Amino acid sequence: MTEVSPGEDAVEFDVDAPAGEFEPKPPEAHYDPPAGRVHPDAELGWIRRMQPVVLGHKRSFLIAMAMASVALFSNVAIPAVVGAGIDEIRADGDRVPMWVATLLVLAVTRAVFAFGYRSRLYKFAYAIEFDLRSLMFRHFARMSHGFYDKVQTGQLVSRANSDIRAVQMLLAFAPFMAMMSLTFVLAFAFMLTKHVLLTVVAVSTLPLVYVFGVKLRNQMFPLSWIVQGRLADVATTVEENVTGVRVVKAFAGEERQIEQLAEQARRLRWSAVKVADSRATYAPLMENLPRLGMALTLLYGGYLAIDGQVTVGTIITFSSYVLLLQAPFRMLGFFMIMSQRAAASAGRIFEILDTEAEIADRAGAIDLVDPVGRVDLDLVRFGYDTRDVLDGFDLHVEPGETVAIVGGTGSGKSTIARLLLRFYDVDDGSVRIDGHDVRDLAMASIRHHVGMVTDEPFLFSASIADNIAYARPDATRDEVIAAATAANAHGFITDLDHGYDEIVGERGYTLSGGQRQRIAIARTLLADPAVLILDDATSAVDVRVEAEIHEAIERLAEHRTTIVIAHRLSTIALADRVALIDGGRVLAFDTHAALLSSEPHYREVLATSVESPEADEGADV
């Protein structure tokens, strides 16, 4: 047993306790799940594919549209009331109060319902944005390691942010345009009842607006796709330079990276200027042609009024309606740009959502329950896109046994761990835990019972306690301290200003490499896995600290299966048996002493490791 230091409540880390039964219970959700999913048929247009997501909030949308209809009819009625009122007041001045009261009622009605529908509509649009972000991030969580091997992080961030925002903006703006279009229809119908020829004159310039809108749309779609793609390129470069700042500075690469970003910014500027040129060419025409229609209306309407064919009220009503008719056409250019950008962004979003996860639970996958920890790799063949790694690999680890895997850099040691956790699937052969092929097991249960500590530990920008408890969010502080003590991390943690509540910087870089590694070991130990994988997990600690960690690991490994991927002799000495791998196969499998006396290649690998203790195991696949 390992106890915490004096001054803390003594908490024992029970190494004799068997691995707990896996219960596939999802965490309590503190947010509303997406109301709908994107339609899976890639042959449909982007709007049709978005339809299920939109219809998930149809109640809110319909209420907004009902309120918008009241506001719209009030808005359309105001010019007609003004015109009729002017004509009647000229004949009978005593009716002024009635017309004023009517206009006040219409104005208040329009204001109240316009506020209501705009508020509802914006909430609807942000609900869609929330759903799309949830769907995108859920999809990211489902994707396998192979997907992230090929896709740039900046591209994913761009599609999950700016592309979703582009779609959301259109979904918020499109109903406004629909209301404006309905206003046009109602106003046009009313104008026809008053004077057909004057109505024709008023709308005579609008067909040209449509023609120029089509031309703008045809130019904007490819340009919008290019702009969004180049924005993602810039985001990728920025993200890589922020996360890789230590490498950049170590090789004095600042100027090269600045030049790379400048080149990408120049390419983005070119495409953005092309968008601006297209907009500058057509948008002014589309906005000002309706004004020309208004001038023609006043000219012809004035002539008709002088001739007595229409009243002054009719001219004022027509002038007001021409202003209403202008609104949708003045916004048409902006709407065309927005719609094409949204179409391009939706296509980029669907590119991700349509990508199937290479690794997924099979139908009828079972849970791994109360494993004893037997591990078998039977004639495994596996390769990445660039090369083959394992070819006929055969290894059998007994329950409770500690096995070290030794081999040269690039021999496939870390790949074995990734296959066991089912980060990748074998090309041939099988990987089994307690006789169950991992492909027949639910991945959540595999990763519940198989814990791994890598040579490059990742920490979140959170407290040390939260980083350790990531393995078991329901763990008590005493259990966190016990795990940290077992990993020999308790001492340095209590020396920090805020102890376990100390917030570590991004990726944990405010701590030393050895400190990060011990926290990662504590995190895995807290999960209490039946199978423990240490992927060169003590490479970043000094000899004294390594010895203390090894002592804790020996106690913890006594009742669990442990696979140690190692270079150091001190780590290899922990193992009951050692598997020497070369050429994608197990060359020999015996005790350390036996291999040392009988296998020249084993002595050669150990000698190389001693000469190059800082070999980059990160290159080992």
Radius of gyration for the alpha carbons in the chain, expressed in angstroms and rounded: 35
| Weakest-pLDDT range from 25-34, 77-86, 106-115, 329-338 | 25-34
Which pLDDT score is estimated for 19? 45
pLDDT at 542 over 50: yes
Please give the residue that has the higher pLDDT: either 172 or 133: 133
| pLDDT tier at 230, thresholds 50, 70, 90 | confident
Collect all residues with Cβ–Cβ distance below 8 Å to 21 and sequence separation of at least 6.
369, 370
Domain ranges of the chain: 46-353, 375-619
Q: Does the structure show a pLDDT above 60 at 614?
A: no
| Token couple for 26 | 């999802």
Minimal CA–CA distance to 403: which of 564, 225, 253?
A: 564
Q: What is the pLDDT of residue 4?
A: 39
What single-letter DSSP state applies at residue 441?
A: B
Is the pLDDT higher at 23 or at 581?
A: 581
165, containing H or E segment: helix 164-194
Residue 8 pLDDT grade (very low, low, confident, very high; cuts 50, 70, 90): very low
Token pair recorded at residue 293: 């229609």
Q: Going by C-beta distance under 8 Å and a sequence separation of 6 or more, which residues neighbour residue 343? A: 46, 221, 224
**Helix, strand, coil share of the chain (percent; to 5):** 65, 10, 25
Superfamily of domain 375-619: P-loop containing nucleotide triphosphate hydrolases (3.40.50.300)
Tell me the CATH class for 46-353: mainly alpha
pLDDT digits (tens, 9 = 90+) for 450-483: 988 877 778 887 889 998 988 888 888 999 998 8
Q: Mind listing the pLDDT tens digit for each residue in 14-58? A: 544 444 444 545 555 566 778 778 888 888 888 888 888 888 888
> How much is the pLDDT for 268?
87
Lowest-confidence segment of 177-181, 220-224, 608-612 by average pLDDT: 608-612
Give the residue carrying structure tokens 């790694």. Answer: 389
Confidence of residue 5 (pLDDT cuts 50, 70, 90): very low
pTM: 0.68
Predicted pLDDT of residue 433: 93
Q: How far is it, in rounded angstroms, from Cα 69 to Cα 443?
A: 51
Residues 95-152 pLDDT 10s: 778 888 888 998 899 899 989 888 888 888 888 888 888 888 888 888 887 787 777 7
The yes-or-no verdict on residue 329 having pLDDT over 80 is no
Give the type of residue at 89.
I
- The confidence score (pLDDT) of residue 307 equals 81
Higher pLDDT pick, 12 / 355 = 355
**Average model confidence (pLDDT) for the chain?**
80
* 412 pLDDT higher than 50: yes
Q: What is the pLDDT of residue 300?
A: 86
Q: Which residue has the tokens 């219409």?
A: 106
Residue 208 burial (C-beta neighbours within 10 Å; 0-12, 13-18, 19+): middle
**Per-position DSSP letters for 37-75, written without gaps between them:** ---S-TTS-HHHHHHHHHHTTHHHHHHHHHHHHHHHHHH
Q: Is 554 or 2 the better-scoring residue by pLDDT?
A: 554
Residue 93: pLDDT band with limits 50, 70, 90: low
What backbone torsions phi and psi does residue 562 show, to the nearest 5 degrees? Answer: -130, 130
Phi/psi zone of residue 488: left (φ > 0), alpha (ψ -120 to 50 degrees), beta? left
Would the pLDDT of 420 be above 80? yes
